[in-house]
Amino acid sequence: MGTVMTSASHHVPATLQWRDDELHLLDQTRLPLQIHIERQDDAQQVWQSIRQLKVRGAPAIGVAAAYGLCVAMRPHQALGLPEFRETLRQNAQYLNTARPTAVNLAWALQRMLAVAAAHAAVDSADLYARLVAEARRIHAEDTAICAGIGQHGVDLIRPGMGVLTHCNAGALATTGLGTATAPMYLAHQRGTRFKVFADETRPLLQGARLTAWELQSAGLDVTLITDNMAASMMASGQVQLVIVGTDRVTANGDVVNKIGTLGVAVLAQHFGVPFYVACPSSTIDAATASGDQVEIEERTPDEVTGFGDTRTAPQAMPVRNPAFDVTPHALVRGLITEHGIIKAPFDEGLRRVARTADDASRTA
Number of residues located near ligand MRU, criterion CB under 6 A: 18
- From the list 20, 27, 123, 247, the catalytic residue is 247
Indicate whether 40 belongs to the interface with ligand MRU (CB under 6 A): no
State in angstroms the smallest separation of the CB of 218 from ligand MRU. Answer: 16
State in angstroms the smallest separation of the CB of 211 from ligand MRU. Answer: 9
State in angstroms the smallest separation of the CB of 159 from ligand MRU. Answer: 26
Among 15, 23, 59, 262, the residue binding ligand MRU under the rule CB under 6 A is 59
Specify the stretch interacting with ligand MRU by CB under 6 A; choose among 56-64, 124-132, 330-338, 341-349.
56-64
Q: Closest-CB residue for ligand MRU?
A: 245
Indicate whether 281 belongs to the interface with ligand MRU (CB under 6 A): no
The residue (of 58 and 121) whose beta carbon lies closer to ligand MRU is 58
The residue (of 91 and 179) whose beta carbon lies closer to ligand MRU is 179
Please work out, in degrees rounded to the nearest 5, the angle formed at the alpha carbon of residue 153 by the alpha carbons of 161 and 280. 135
Specify the stretch interacting with ligand MRU by CB under 6 A; choose among 9-17, 50-58, 285-293, 343-351.
50-58
In three-state secondary structure terms, 85 is helix
d(CA 45, CA 25): 11
x/- contact string, 173-202, with ligand MRU (CB under 6 A)? xx----x-----------------------
**Proportion of the chain in helix, strand, coil states, percent, rounded to 5:** 45, 15, 35
Q: Please indicate whether residue 247 is annotated as part of the active site.
A: yes
In three-state secondary structure terms, 203 is coil
Count of CB atoms situated within 10 Å of the CB of 355: 13
Bridge-partner residues for 276, per DSSP?
243, 334
Count of CB atoms situated within 10 Å of the CB of 159: 9
d(CA 139, CA 74): 18
In three-state secondary structure terms, 311 is strand
Indicate whether 167 belongs to the interface with ligand MRU (CB under 6 A): yes
Among 58, 177, 262, 336, the residue binding ligand MRU under the rule CB under 6 A is 58
Specify the stretch interacting with ligand MRU by CB under 6 A; choose among 49-57, 84-92, 149-157, 352-360.
49-57
Count of CB atoms situated within 10 Å of the CB of 65: 29
| String of DSSP letters for 223-272 | EEE-GGGHHHHHHTT---EEEE--SEEETT--EEEETTHHHHHHHHHHHT
Q: Which of residues 310-329 bind ligand MRU (CB under 6 A)?
A: 323
CA–CA distances in Å: residue 91 to residues 85, 98, 185, 231: 10, 11, 37, 45
Among 40, 216, 246, 327, the residue binding ligand MRU under the rule CB under 6 A is 246
Among 25, 45, 49, 56, the residue binding ligand MRU under the rule CB under 6 A is 56
- Contacts for 310 with CB less than 8 Å, ≥ 6 apart: none
Q: Please give the positions annotated as active site.
A: 247
Q: For binding to ligand MRU (CB under 6 A), which residues are involved?
A: 53, 56-59, 102, 167, 169, 173-174, 179, 206, 245-247, 257-258, 323
